[in-house]
Amino acid sequence: MHTHRIDSFLIAKNVRVEIVHESNPYFAGEPISLVIRVRHLGSQQEFLLLREKIRELQDEFVENLQSQESLETTPDDVNRNTDDQGWSMKSLLSSFTRGSSESLAKEEMERKKELRENITKQIQFHKPVNLISGYVQISGLFQFDGECINEAGFENLGKKKVAMDTSVDNRLLKGSSKDDKSDSNLESQEYEHISKYINSNYNPITGGLISKEEYELVGSESSNLIVSMSNFGKTSNIKNYPIFLIPQSLLFSELTLDAGEVKTFHFKSNKLPTDLPPSYNNSKTISINYLLEVGVSSVIGTTIRPELIKVPINIGPYVSAKGEQYISSLDQEAVILQEGQITEIKQSLKNRRISSISVSSANTSFGHRRSFSIDDSEKIAELKQNFVALVRENTKEPKDIEELVELQIEKQFGKEDKESELDDPETEYLSKRASTVRNNIANLENTYDPIDDDTDDGENNTGKFESGLIPQLRNLRRNYQINRNGELIAKLSLSKLFYTTSDDIDLVLTFSEDPSNSIKVSAVTVSLESLELANPLYGSNDADAGSKPKSNQVYETHAICFDDCESIPFKLTLPKSPSNQLTGQFKTDIFQLKWILTFKFVLISKGLDVTMEQFYEDKRGYLLHSKDNIEGDEFICHIPLTLLPSSHAYGGW
């Protein structure tokens, strides 16, 4: 398993594009940084060997042709020999021998000709490839069901509505010609031998608004699924609005790849807005998706074939050191940032002991570190002393490992050239790992104290709320008491005050032991659900559609209670896929996302034995067996759950 998420796609039979994400997910308030590798899958050594074989076959073909011409005699010579010597046994045998040798020579020539054609086809895989106009673009799309949200209430979002092409190929790889089946269908027999070069097969469609089954019914050849599905149930009412764009950033204008050669480019954007809405695709009615597009055009003969790779990326919400988030604004014109910075990573940079990924993860720009000579013995001694000092200091006050690496890098290569940064100098740049969103969440997990929040005054909270920051860690509790009509049913104990999307939710239900209670629990169902609360200003005109919040179940578990069951432990396992992540709670001006635990209790009377029934009786007694079905009252309650983004980065396979 890779420590970073890596997506790879074939843009030609012998060219693969690899996308290495330096963070998964990315976070609002931080730049998007990734590495793009364009790799020629051929081998230079194999190319030279095949070319030498072709030359040898060509030489042999010419020699055989010359020898065959020398052995042949003209018809005049044959007639003259026949008139002078007449027919004899020797001349008769020579004529048969000459015919068999000529047929063998022709068969040998045909075999070598066929072999040369096969080698010529093989050598095409190892030939240099010409590419032009490589670029990177990132866009964000807000989608919703028009029956749940009324777009007539939009003030700014509707002004910039454009026609969006939401159709995506099964591989998110589109060619210039749909009729070219051999180049576009990776499942064909022609591509079976190179399928091992691909590790990404995305089919996100629209993040849940159009299911995979519906997409397959319509077909991937549609140029616009939303338009094509006008008669396909309620899906036809899906609205699309662009909310974010990083324009095309040029990777290269022209590029020639020899066999086995790899060209590596580093892409880094400006800092994302801190109030950028996070990725959200676990709903059937609302979706926020971000898409990375890599375009490359290959030159085949005299034609230019454009290829487009589309990869979904995950963006998490900004979380401050105190556990606060901004209110994201969806009802506004699309946010357009400047083009990203593209840097080609040379071989000398890749050969350093510190990998390019590690340097970038410590917020170090490629090519802006000063070079370092290992011949300087005094400098080496200083570096060793600095390393020992960092280790000793870390034993007293533990720090993040990446922060320690950053301090050692600064000692070795010096600080970054701030003039090369793309970010606005008037804003604070997140130059240290300790100030990143991921470390903010990790620090909250390790050091959060609810007593500190209780001592804050209301004025500060009001000011933060008005500025767009909302505290997320308020009124947190680990223990709850569940009652029905004043009668205790169970006590709930959570393992944490709050959770992240990479945690497993452990909880324990302890049932009431009060003998005066008239009911007991026979079964419990626990489920984790997300709750979408729409802003009434953007609510649908349909009263039934907007009457209650929309919930989406993520995980469910069930337990049955026998005899005198005192407590039941539960573990809710959250999905942790690198490409399909849960979204922590957040709020926008149109809707907000909350998380809840839903408990369904089946309550039966404690006085009556409702679990057993009599099936035989005589003078010596009677026999009982358990019932097939137990009837009881259903009681449902909801417990709020605070769920923040994960402090861990998701890797890949």
Chain segment 528-563, per-residue pLDDT in tens: 999 998 888 887 766 555 557 888 899 999 998 877
Domain carrying residue 521 = 469-644
Average pLDDT of span 587-609? 88
Amino acid in the structure at residue 177:
S
Largest CA distance in the chain: 136
- Residue 27 forms part of a structural domain: no
- Residue 548 forms part of a structural domain: yes
Q: Which two tokens stand for residue 460?
A: 């500060």
92 touches 158 (CB < 8 A): no
pLDDT at 159: 55
- Residue 608 forms part of a structural domain: yes
Residue by residue, DSSP assigns 227-284 as HHTTTSGGGGGEEEEEEEEEEEEEEEEEEEE-TT-EEEEEEEEEEPPTTPPPPB-S-S
- Residue 217 forms part of a structural domain: no
Question: For the domain that residue 513 is a member of, what is the CATH number?
Answer: 2.60.40.640
pLDDT at 497: 92
Q: Whole-angstrom Cα distance, residue 562 to residue 521? A: 9
Helices of type H across 311-415: 347-350, 356-361, 377-396, 401-413
Confidence check: pLDDT of 273 > 90 = yes
- Residue 592 forms part of a structural domain: yes
Instruction: For residue 95, report the phi and psi dihedrals to the nearest 5 degrees.
Output: -70, -40
pLDDT at 245: 93
* 3-state class (DSSP) for residue 140: strand
| Block residue for tokens 């947190």 | 476
Q: Whole-angstrom Cα distance, residue 98 to residue 398? A: 91
- The number of CA neighbours under 13 Å toward the Cβ of 614 is 5
| pLDDT level of residue 92 (50, 70, 90 thresholds) | low
**Strands (E) located in 51-172:** 129-145
What pTM does this model have?
A: 0.71
- The C-alpha torsion from 108 through 114 and 115 to 118, rounded to 10°, is 180
Q: For residue 278, is the peptide bond before it cis, meaning its omega torsion is within 30 degrees of 0?
A: no
- Residue 494 forms part of a structural domain: yes
For the ranges 18-32, 138-152, 304-318, the lowest mean pLDDT is seen at: 138-152
Average pLDDT of span 380-391? 82
- Residue 493 forms part of a structural domain: yes
Confidence check: pLDDT of 585 > 90 = yes
Q: Whole-angstrom Cα distance, residue 397 to residue 403? A: 13
**Angle formed by the axes of helices 75-85 and 89-126, nearest 10°:** 160
139 touches 77 (CB < 8 A): no
Confidence check: pLDDT of 512 > 90 = no
CA distances for 273 relative to 139, 336, 644, angstroms: 14, 10, 19
11 touches 186 (CB < 8 A): no
| pLDDT level of residue 373 (50, 70, 90 thresholds) | very low
Average pLDDT of span 346-365? 45
Q: Which two tokens stand for residue 594?
A: 């909350």
| Selection from 289, 277, 282, 286 nearest residue 238 by Cα | 286
- Residue 101 forms part of a structural domain: no
- The C-alpha torsion from 451 through 452 and 457 to 458, rounded to 10°, is -80
Note the pLDDT tens digit of each residue in 228-271.
Answer: 333 334 445 788 889 999 999 999 988 888 888 899 999 999 99
Q: Whole-angstrom Cα distance, residue 527 to residue 343? A: 47
> Could you give the number of structural domains in the chain?
1
Among residues of the chain, what percentage have pLDDT more than 70? 66
Q: H-helix or E-strand containing 65? A: helix 44-71
Q: Whole-angstrom Cα distance, residue 602 to residue 82? A: 114
Between residues 630 and 263, the one the model is more confident about: 263
Burial class (CB in 10 A: 0-12, 13-18, 19+), 492: buried
Q: Whole-angstrom Cα distance, residue 377 to residue 465? A: 56
238 touches 210 (CB < 8 A): yes
DSSP code for 589: S
